């Protein structure tokens, strides 16, 4: 049952490989700015997505304007890939009134409704609990859009993950579940909390198809996400895509990786998603060292300007403390 | 006495109790990673990491508590208790009574809350009153490292499920804490408030971080000729009604202060208690200073302003001290 007419959906123009690289570089530069803020003095805790840029860019580049995204505490990549303004994001992280949520969210729950990034929750599993309802709206109110729900391997250990998949399956809801399996669940390695290595096999018992992709290969992620999104769009049924990736930094800034096996870290750093695409583009002659340096500088400048905007933005007025709690 | 932070004082209590009683064990998300000292001392069977799943962490604690173990679970941030609500409220809180006393639940659930880290409303929510409202649960929320240690020891030894809230803003403030050699002297019994400053004109009643705001206010008030008594509840359930009532009967005036929101907060219960049992001693209406009915903003200035501040407490107390209903009754 649809309550209103569908809006025709047009796929956006395909990004070039250089576009994919630029998008990842922007995320990296943003996260490095967060790290720099921390080095400079007290700054709110932030969960960076360094190392997971390919998962964010690969998936989000496969989406259309009318699609909606739910995300979690490690959201900067998803937001930036979707076109969010890094200045307003940093302002939000710093609790300034110019932030996307007027400074009330801080880093952990940034929603940007105008970009279709809805209901960001830092309650691990919060996004999983809300995604079926968002998809139900799509199913009943019309529109071709699908709902993409990003979550971590840790979130898959919450009971709500299983409830979400089951309901989305029995109600035929167009949810593309995207698990970024980054090996870590805050201070605990996934091998301590799950018997298998992968989350994807947990979809089948609910009648949901799944696929695990090399999450540090942006082109592979994009290809898999295009297929998965097309399937959800076509069948109006859920699908689970798992990106096999790595959290290169500590759970949050200020940075601490004292509990991380250095050999594991080193092995994954060697598979850095940005370095991999750069090497490929250099080998294929699509990049020169000079043009690569220019792309890096471009990303840095964009983030410099964003940091300047955020730092010079005012804090919210204290009289706003309890405003807007009720509709 | 040694100087240690609130955080370390809790850890010291855990250490002493685990050494004393082999049935005590601790688990939670990252417990074994973060509490290396306990892991080293007591091994991986008694200090465990869990999957990221508050419901099963707490349910497992309740099941184990009812059948011979004495678990302490770290649920990290208070809002995550929402995922453990059924296990805390319906199981641990009710199944003693509902089983006709066949089972008890000697367990402790630990959670941080309160302003200080700008982490926003899904990490910072002072929801302690919810658990005060739920039968069968005890609730502790200390304000000093020494009390944190003493109350943690008492909570572990208690036969009932205890919610142990740690105020984020106090975690890394050091204070004097009695060492292990003090033995059971270091215990702070559940249900005993502390009078942390004596006074005669007005009673400031609070718990956790706002106790310190009350003490600062009392200092200011002293300079202005108003003698304020400060009561630190320490345990919210069982509530030390006798200490509250005795103090208010002496001073005739009370300001009740907490960071948690006002509606149905712990302060409402205290106000009701005083009205019911010490009404004839009151020289002025009761005043509550609390957080507003709003989620806490992540923005630092707003987060800080959420909790009642010392100057507002002093101002409220000054106004109360100027009133004397006995001299000019309004009813
Ligand atoms: C219900 C709940 N429990 C615990 C936390 C604290 N926490 C925040 S992120 C995190 C780890 C999440 O792991 P995962 O889902 O794999 O995502 P990742 O951080 O690896 O991106 C934890 C334990 C939380 N925010 N919400
Ligand atoms: Mg993870």
How does pLDDT run across B84-103, given as a tens digit for each residue? Answer: 999 999 999 999 999 999 99
Enumerate the β-bridge partners of residue A99: none
C-beta neighbour count of B136 within 10 angstroms: 20
Q: Report chain B's mean pLDDT, rounded to a whole number.
A: 96
Q: Read off the CATH number of the domain in which B129 is found.
A: 3.40.50.970
Closest listed ligand to the CA of A151: 1
B132 and B220, same structural domain?
Answer: no
Tell me if B331 is assigned to some domain: no
The C-alpha atoms of residue B265 and residue B214 are separated, in whole angstroms, by 18
Ligand 1 probe mutation, A75, A124, A157, A259, most atoms within 8 A of CB: A124
B13-27, B134-148, B172-186, B197-211: least confident range: B172-186
3-state secondary structure of B48: strand
Q: For residue B89, how far is its CA from the centre of ligand 1 (angstroms)? A: 23
Tokens 């089983």 label which residue?
B99
Please say whether the beta carbons of B145 and B212 come within 8 A.
no
B181 CB contacts (<8 Å, ≥6 apart)?
none
Q: Which of A128, A257, A322, A324 to mutate to test the interface with B (most CBs of B within 10 A)?
A: A322
Q: In terms of domains, do B90 and B206 share one?
A: no
Index of the ligand 1 atom closest to the CA of residue B83: 1
pLDDT tens-digit readout, B252-285: 999 999 999 999 999 999 999 999 999 999 999 9
Are B163 and B15 members of one domain? Answer: yes
CB–CB of A246/A183 below 8 Å?
Answer: yes
The answer to the question of residue B291 being in a domain is yes
Q: What CATH code is assigned to A17-307? A: 3.40.50.970
Q: How far apart are CA B114 and CA A178, in angstroms?
A: 33
Nearest Cα residue in chain A from B80: A123
Give yes or no: residues B12 and B88 share one domain: yes
Q: Are residues B157 and B210 in the same domain?
A: no
Classify B64 as helix, strand or coil: helix
pLDDT of the residue at B323? 87
Q: How many domains, chain B?
A: 2
Proportion of chain A in helix, strand, coil states, percent, rounded to 5: 50, 10, 40
Evaluate the omega torsion of the peptide bond into residue A92 and state whether it is cis, within 30 degrees of 0. Answer: no
Interface mutation vs chain A, best among B302, B305, B311, most A CBs within 10 Å: B302
Q: What is the DSSP string of A152-205?
A: ETTGGGSHHHHHHHHHHHHTT--EEEEEEE-SEETTEEGGGT-SSS-SGGGSGG
Cβ proximity of A123 and A100 under 8 Å: no
In this prediction, residue B327 has a pLDDT band, given cuts at 50, 70 and 90, of low
Quote the pLDDT of residue A7: 54
For residue B326, the model assigns a pLDDT of 59
Atom of ligand 1 nearest to the CA of A47: 19
Residue with tokens 């990549």, as numbered in its chain: A77
* B130/B255 same-domain check: no
How far apart are the CA of B269 and the centre of ligand 1, in A? 35
SS3 B69: coil
Residue A9, burial from CB neighbour count under 10 angstroms (0-12, 13-18, 19+) = middle
* Enclosing domain of residue B219: 194-326
Tell me, rounded to whole angstroms, the distance of Cα A3 from its chain centroid.
Answer: 30
Residues B232 and B168 in one domain: no
pLDDT class of B181 with cuts at 50, 70, 90: confident
Predicted local confidence at residue B198, as pLDDT? 98
- Type and span of the H or E element at A246: none
Instruction: Looking at the CA of A156, name the nearest ligand.
Output: 1
**One domain for residues B180 and B287:** no
- Strand B162-167 and strand B138-140: the pairing is parallel
What is the reported pLDDT for B288? 98
Kindly list the residues from chain A whose CB atom is less than 8 angstroms away from the CB atom of residue B119: 44-45, 106, 108
> Percent of chain B having pLDDT more than 90?
94
Residues in chain A, pLDDT under 50: 1-6
Q: Render pLDDT for A146-205 as a digit per residue (tens, 0 to 9).
A: 999 999 999 999 999 999 999 999 999 999 999 999 999 999 999 999 999 999 999 999
The band of B1, judged by pLDDT with boundaries at 50, 70 and 90, is confident
Q: Are B14 and B146 contained in the same domain?
A: yes
pLDDT of residue A244: 98
B contacts of A95 (beta carbons < 8 Å): 118, 297-303
Q: How far A10 CA lies from chain B's nearest CA (Å)?
A: 37
**CA distance, residue B39 to nearest chain A CA (Å):** 14
B113 in a domain, yes or no? Answer: yes
ipTM of the complex: 0.94
Contact A157 B51 (CB under 8 A): yes
Q: Is pLDDT at B330 greater than 80 in this prediction?
A: no
Q: Write out the two tokens for A96.
A: 């300034």
CA distances from A168 to A134, A164, A278, B4 (A): 11, 6, 38, 50
- Asked if residue B311 and residue B179 are part of one domain, the reply reads no
Same domain, B74 and B151: yes
Hey, what's the torsion of the CAs at A24, A25, A29, A35, to 10 degrees? 50
CATH number at residue B276: 3.40.50.920
Which residue reads 């060292």 in tokens?
A: A289
Q: What is the largest CA-CA distance in chain B?
A: 67
User: Within this chain, do residues B35 and B135 fall inside the same structural domain, yes or no?
Assistant: yes
Q: Whose CA is nearest to atom 17 of ligand 1?
A: A152
CA distance A284 to chain B (A): 43
Q: How far apart are CA B314 and CA B167, in angstroms?
A: 22
B80, pLDDT greater than 80: yes
Token pair listed for A260? 């991380």
Tell me if A98 sits within 8 A of A88, measured CB to CB.
yes
Work out which ligand 1 atom sits closest to the CA atom of A157.
15
**Alpha helices per DSSP H over A41-148:** 53-60, 76-81, 86-93, 126-141
**b/e string for B144-160 if b means 16 or more Cβ within 10 A?**
bbbbbbbbbbbbbbbeb
Q: Which residues pair with A148 in a beta bridge?
A: A69, A176
């Amino acid at each position: 049952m649809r309550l209103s007419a569908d809006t025709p959906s047009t796929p956006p123009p395909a990004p070039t490989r250089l576009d994919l690289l630029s998008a990842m570089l922007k995320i990296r530069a943003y996260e490095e700015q967060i790290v720099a803020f921390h080095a400079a003095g007290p700054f709110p805790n932030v969960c960076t997505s360094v190392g997971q840029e390919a998962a964010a860019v690969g998936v989000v580049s496969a989406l259309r304007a009318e699609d909606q995204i739910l995300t979690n505490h490690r959201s900067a990549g998803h937001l930036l890939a979707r076109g969010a303004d890094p200045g307003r994001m940093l302002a939000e992280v710093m609790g300034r009134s110019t932030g996307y949520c007027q400074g009330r969210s801080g880093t952990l729950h940034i929603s940007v409704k105008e970009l279709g990034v809805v209901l960001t929750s830092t309650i691990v599993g919060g996004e999983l609990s809300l995604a079926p309802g968002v998809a139900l709206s799509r199913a009943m109110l019309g529109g071709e859009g699908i709902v993409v729900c990003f979550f971590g391997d840790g979130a898959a250990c919450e009971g709500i993950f299983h409830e979400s998949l089951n309901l989305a399956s029995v109600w035929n809801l167009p949810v593309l579940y995207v698990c970024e399996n980054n090996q870590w669940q805050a201070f605990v390695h996934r091998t301590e909390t799950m018997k298998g290595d992968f989350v994807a096999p947990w979809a089948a018992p609910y009648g949901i198809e799944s696929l695990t992709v090399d999450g540090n290969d942006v082109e592979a992620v994009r290809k898999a996400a295009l297929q998965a999104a097309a399937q959800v769009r076509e069948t109006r049924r859920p699908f689970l895509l798992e990106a096999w990736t790595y959290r290169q930094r500590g759970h949050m800034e200020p940075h601490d990786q004292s509990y991380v096996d250095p050999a594991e870290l080193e092995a994954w750093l060697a598979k850095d998603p940005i370095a991999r695409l750069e090497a490929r583009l250099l080998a294929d002659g699509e990049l020169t060292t000079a043009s690569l340096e220019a792309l890096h500088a471009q990303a840095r400048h964009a983030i410099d300007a964003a940091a300047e905007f955020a730092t010079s933005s005012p804090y919210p007025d204290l009289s706003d403390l309890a405003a807007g709690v009720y509709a | 006495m040694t100087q240690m932070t609130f955080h370390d004082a809790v850890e010291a209590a855990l250490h002493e109790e685990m050494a004393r009683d082999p049935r005590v064990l601790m688990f939670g998300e990252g417990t074994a990673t973060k509490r290396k000292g306990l892991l080293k001392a007591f091994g991986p069977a008694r200090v465990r990491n869990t999957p990221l799943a508050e419901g099963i962490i707490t349910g497992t604690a309740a099941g184990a508590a009812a059948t011979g173990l004495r678990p302490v679970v770290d649920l990290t941030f208070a809002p995550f208790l929402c995922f453990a609500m059924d296990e805390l409220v319906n199981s641990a809180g009710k199944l003693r009574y509902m089983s006709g006393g066949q089972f008890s639940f000697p367990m402790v659930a630990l959670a941080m809350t309160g302003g200080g880290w700008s982490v926003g409303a899904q990490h910072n929510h002072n929801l302690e009153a919810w658990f005060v409202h739920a039968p069968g649960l005890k609730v502790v929320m200390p304000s000093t490292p020494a009390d944190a240690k003493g109350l943690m020891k008492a909570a572990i030894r208690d036969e009932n499920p205890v919610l142990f809230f740690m105020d984020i803003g106090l975690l890394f403030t050091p204070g004097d804490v009695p060492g292990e050699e003090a033995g059971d002297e270091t215990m702070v019994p559940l249900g005993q408030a502390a009078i942390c400053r004596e006074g005669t004109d007005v009673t400031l009643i609070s718990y956790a971080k706002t106790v310190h705001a009350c003490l600062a206010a009392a200092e200011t008030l002293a300079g202005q000729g108003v003698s304020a008594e400060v009561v630190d509840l320490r345990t919210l359930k069982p509530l030390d009604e006798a200490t509250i009532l005795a103090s208010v009967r002496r001073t005739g005036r009370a300001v009740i202060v907490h960071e948690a929101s006002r509606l149905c907060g712990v302060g409402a219960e205290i106000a009701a208690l005083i009205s019911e049992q010490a009404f004839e001693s009151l020289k002025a209406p009761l005043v509550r200073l609390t957080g507003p009915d709003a989620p806490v903003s992540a923005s630092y200035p707003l987060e800080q302003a959420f909790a009642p501040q010392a100057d507002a407490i002093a101002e409220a107390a000054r106004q109360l001290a100027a009133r004397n209903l006995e001299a000019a009754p309004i009813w």
